[in-house]
Amino acid sequence: MSRRRRTTGDRPPWALVPLAAVALAFVAVPFVALIQRVPWSALPELLREPVVTDALRLSLVSAFSATGLSLLFGVPLAWMLARTDVPGRGFLRGLVVLPMVLPPVVGGAALLFAFGRFGLLGGPLFDATGILLPFSFSGVVFANTFVAMPFLIVTVEAGLRAADRRYEEAAATLGAGRWTVFRRITVPMAAPSIIAGAVLCWARALGEFGATITFAGNLQGRTQTMPLAIFLDLESGGADRESAIALSLILVAVSLAVLIPLRDRWLAA
């Protein structure tokens, strides 16, 4: 890490120091408190329990799937919002970030009204194919994508708007088609924001709780992700509370393992 240290660092205005310390303490103290409660001796055993391994697997697969879907559909939408003059762009931008401010439980209920058995789209889908999203793993991915994709879109859109467009114009004058420009110039130039957005999106999806339990329900091995398992264990108390704390530690460790290297590489710039 030290190899990337650029300067000796600025000396902060003194007033910033205590405020920054409050922010740091505010984030750090709860984690310290959590770690202090971890039943270390029971940890190896807990890690082998099917409830834990199932939840961890579902969490990881669903978070990566949601990130993949968000990249596939979110990057094009971010490009549209950043580069075109679609009518009502301001409104569309607001709409896109709505899941960020909406309580996730409301998002889950909205998904149920849209894709549930008698939902706007879910009804016809079920009648035609017999496919039902709630209570299925696809439902978990849907809920995760719904809640997490805005983080990707907002980040990528900001990156695209900040990018220097002269390179794209130069490429176009040299005869590159629009698709080639997008593929060869726009995407590589926006790569840092795309990766940063994907990381934020993944992190949000991994922690998703409200929309998932509301839309996809809770069943071990099918829809019970880590946050759901933690919530239910925490609620019932007793020995389950210990496993909830252990699960939380695992979730924290997994997130850190992914976030720290990426943050260093892409978000610190």
Partner 1 sequence: MRRGWSRSLLAVLAGMLVLAAACGGDDDKSDTSGNAGATETTASGVDGSITVFAAASLTDAFGDIKEAFEKENPGAEVTFNFAGSSALKEQILQGAPADVFASANQSNMDPVKDAGKASDDKVFVTNKLEIGVPKGNPGKVTGLDAFGIDNLRIGLCAEDVPCGEFGREALENAGVTPKPDTEEADVRALLTKVQSGDLDAGLVYTTDVLAGGDQVQGIEIPADQNVIAKYPIAALSGSKESATADAFVAFVLSPDGQKLLEKRGFTPAA
Interface with partner 1 (CB under 8 A): 17-18, 21-22, 24-25, 112-113, 116-118, 132, 134-135, 213-214, 217-220, 222-223, 231-232, 234-237, 240-241
Question: What is the CB neighbour count within 10 angstroms for residue 209?
Answer: 18
64 vs 135, beta carbon nearer partner 1: 135
23 vs 191, beta carbon nearer partner 1: 23
CB 210 within 8 A of CB 108: yes
In angstroms, what is the minimal distance from the CB of 7 to partner 1?
16
d(CA 204, CA 70): 12
50 vs 88, beta carbon nearer partner 1: 50
d(CA 267, CA 259): 10
In angstroms, what is the minimal distance from the CB of 219 to partner 1?
5
In angstroms, what is the minimal distance from the CB of 18 to partner 1?
5
d(CA 194, CA 141): 20
24 vs 256, beta carbon nearer partner 1: 24
CB 186 within 8 A of CB 168: yes
In angstroms, what is the minimal distance from the CB of 192 to partner 1?
31
CB 168 within 8 A of CB 185: yes
